[in-house]
Chain A
Amino acid sequence: MITELKEKRQMRFGRNSKKELKKLIAVNTKRKKFEFTLPFSEHLNLNGKESEVLIKEDEKHGTYLLWKNKKYPVEVIYKNQNRYEILLNGISYIYTVETPTSYKRMRFLASKSESKKNENLEAPMPGKIVEILTEEGRDVRAGEPLLILEAMKMQNEIQAPISGHIKKIYIKQGQSVLKDDLMVEIHVGK
């Protein structure tokens, strides 16, 4: 009886919190996942092989990865909530860090077919196009700078509102635009 009572008390709250977080999952933009056990160890499982990867820092090289006695410079360019943009060997990678529960939800929401809309990017204010940083047919991700618009004596970076690919660019470098002029058409999916 007493033990039953004790169990009941514990059943109500704290049942889930007894489960310790055992691993974290890093997911990249192409939905490839990498698992890390907690607490972190320097031994990582890469393509089925155990290898030792060290993260080191010194004044000469900045932060770098040490793998098989070779140094690979690494830098966290951008970090927001659980999103990381990492520069490794001069190539940038984007990862979100998920727990097993949040990873499940992520997959669940992705499996629900979403009807995403294409986006027509319009000029937020009147100004002059200083530079176009992208080209037709290229894939972009949300937040990537597309062009520079000079307005109010200031250069403004115009970013992609959604991830997708550039269907058409309606403007040219040096051209003046009015507010709400159509600049770039972005399509979701291929």
Chain B
Amino acid sequence: MDTNGKLFKKFLERENKISDQFSSENAKKQHAKGKLTARERIDLLFDKDTFEEIDAFVTPATITSKFGKITESYGDGVIVGHGKISGRLVFNYAQDFTVMGGSLGTVHAQKIAKIQKMALKMGAPIIGLIDSGGARIQEGIASLAGYATIFKNNINSSGVIPQISVIMGPAAGGAVYSPALTDFIFMTNKTSYMFVTGPSVVKEVLNEDVTDDELGGAMVHCKKSGVAQMMFEDEEQTLQGVRKLLTYMPSNNMENPPVILNPDEIPEFNEKVRDIVPDDPNKPYDVKEVINQIVDPNTFYETSENFAQNIVVGFARLNGNTIGIVANQPKVLAGTIDINSSIKGARFIRFCDAFNIPLLTLEDVPGFLPGVDQEHMGIIRNGAKMLYAYTEANVPKITVILRKSYGGAYIVMNSKNIGGDFNFAWPTAEIAVMGPDGAVAIIYKRDLAASDDPVTLKKELVKTYRDEIANPYIADEKGYIDEVIDPAITRKKLIVAFEALQNKHVATPAKKHGNIPL
């Protein structure tokens, strides 16, 4: 034992020192802000006792300048390692705000870069828990170079392994671009914020008074800017949300998503679905009700819930298999496609395509959002993003037209001719170049003007238009729709159809990469 004692003396000393560093005093400081410590977060994120830390004892780089000083500490303000989430390998880095404000120095950056490279090599997801004051000023250019390496690794891993950023404190300046390059950003309400320039600079340059939360809080990024996808009220729930999201995705782009079967038997014939879409075509409804009736119970996981609510995107399971859902939301802006919803949809579609997640489109779209605002902001180039993303995606793609399907928006929403594998329609579908009112006003402009009773004439013409053109049967007869189906059997139809598409393979012409209208 004595010999052991000699050999392990230094080892124990270091262990004691590091546990002092993570003492309850530092934890109290974090708790006082309503935040958890980096270690507590890791404990919540990973399966019990599965996290393995590496590089715990690295020390910060020494600085030669006389400007500022560097606190002696182990780990340099970041914990990196790997563990298991739902039994699957996941890499992680967690910034520690209690060590020099979680600022990013050379060694800190090297640790993150190392774990990023490891995650890419092993083909496992990486999660970044971000709580950092930004670049370490004392270390100057070296910390900026550190950021650059992290960004480069982010881009190298993009589309190969899922990357998730969880903002749990400040992320300011250059630091915001690493999360921005990853697939999903989670934020905790009231204690996390992101901005390129902070309130003090805004005050200095523009003389505007704004708080951290108003400038770049979770609410702002999830509702207005669309920077972040998910917002939770609490850190514990945020981390639970991350765990849940990971169950829908494969570990890398060569694998398929995990299959999690629902223990209960789900009826194949569901009459409730028939009653959701109202008879009056001008009445809104919540498309999420349709989604929840079709997919496995309680499996719908919506992302970007509060941003561009006129399109609903999210993951769900159908007979245990992950699918990505894109659905127009008639409840908001009549379900029209505008700039934000196109960008939101396009990004989601590309994520699904990159990670072998089949796509289901539920369509009820009256068209693109009209207006000077939209045209001047570039609805043309922005609307093209979703069109490009849909067409480019070569995962199995199925569309169900629930109600309206008009004009350019019909084409964009995964129509047969841009590559929809199966296109179904409900009997309530209206597929045409434009809605009845618009069509009648254009084709019968003179007749209406000359008529003694334009209202009755218009009504008659609208009826004729619906009977002759705006229904699913014409498209069915011409082969643009594969089948008009009873809403009650939608679930069964989809399960069978996705099964048939399981081994879909598309050969694409060799190219470096396409030129998506960014």
Chain A residues close to B by CB (< 8 Å): 1, 4-5, 8, 11-17, 80-82, 96, 98-99, 101-102, 105-106, 108-109, 112, 124-125, 150-157
Contacts and interface: CB of A to CB of B under 8 A. Distances in A.
Contact of B51 (A13, A96, A109): A13
Contacts of B332: 156
B233 A5 contact: no
A103 to B, nearest CB: 9
A99 B49 contact: no
B371 to A, nearest CB: 8
B81 to A, nearest CB: 9
B503 to A, nearest CB: 36
B170 interface: no
Contact of B48 (A14, A81, A124): A14
A162 B377 CA distance: 29
Contact of A5 (B8, B44, B235, B336): B8
B366 A154 contact: yes
A88 to B, nearest CB: 20
A1 B34 contact: no
Given A1-B1, A15-B39, A17-B48, 19 more contacts: A1-B4, A5-B12, A15-B43, A16-B40, A82-B237, A101-B236, A102-B236, A106-B233, A108-B34, A109-B34, A112-B34, A124-B333, A151-B334, A153-B282, A154-B282, A154-B283, A154-B330, A154-B366, A156-B332
Contacts of A155: 282-284
B241 A81 contact: yes
Contacts, number: 96
A135 B39 CA distance: 49
A144 to B, nearest CB: 14
A154 B34 contact: no
B177 interface: no
A82 B233 contact: yes
Contacts of A102: 233-237
B237 A153 contact: no
Interface string B230-244: 001111110001000
A156 B284 CA distance: 7
Given A153-B437, A155-B282, A4 B12 contact: yes
A81 B43 contact: no
Contacts of B369: 152
B336 A81 contact: no
B43 A13 contact: yes
B233 A96 contact: yes
A141 to B, nearest CB: 15
A150 B334 CA distance: 9
Interface string B46-84: 001101010010000000000000000000000000000
Given A1-B8, A99-B236, A102-B236, A153 B334 contact: yes
A105 B40 CA distance: 14
B291 to A, nearest CB: 13
Contact of A105 (B15, B34, B49): B34
30 contacts: A1-B1, A4-B12, A5-B11, A8-B15, A12-B18, A12-B53, A13-B43, A13-B51, A14-B48, A17-B48, A80-B305, A82-B233, A98-B234, A99-B236, A101-B36, A102-B234, A105-B234, A106-B233, A108-B34, A150-B282, A152-B366, A152-B369, A153-B282, A153-B437, A154-B282, A154-B284, A154-B334, A155-B283, A156-B284, A156-B334
Interface majority SS (helix, strand, loop, mixed), chain A = mixed
A13 B237 contact: no
B482 to A, nearest CB: 28
Nearest to B33: A108
A99 B190 CA distance: 18
Contacts of B235: 102, 105
Nearest to A9: B15
Given A1-B5, A5-B12, A81-B237, A13 B334 contact: no
B19 A11 contact: yes
B459 interface: no
Contacts of A5: 8, 11-12
Contacts of B199: none
B42 interface: yes
Contact of A14 (B5, B34, B51, B335): B51
Contacts of A15: 39, 43
A98 to B, nearest CB: 8
Contacts of A14: 43, 48-49, 51
Nearest to A99: B236
Contacts of B234: 98, 102, 105-106
Interface in B11-53: 11-12, 15-16, 18-19, 34, 36, 39-40, 42-44, 48-49, 51, 53
A157 B233 CA distance: 25
Nearest to B331: A157
Contacts of A152: 333-334, 336, 366, 369-370
Contacts of A124: 333
Contacts of B19: 8, 11-12
B46 to A, nearest CB: 8
A22 B36 CA distance: 20
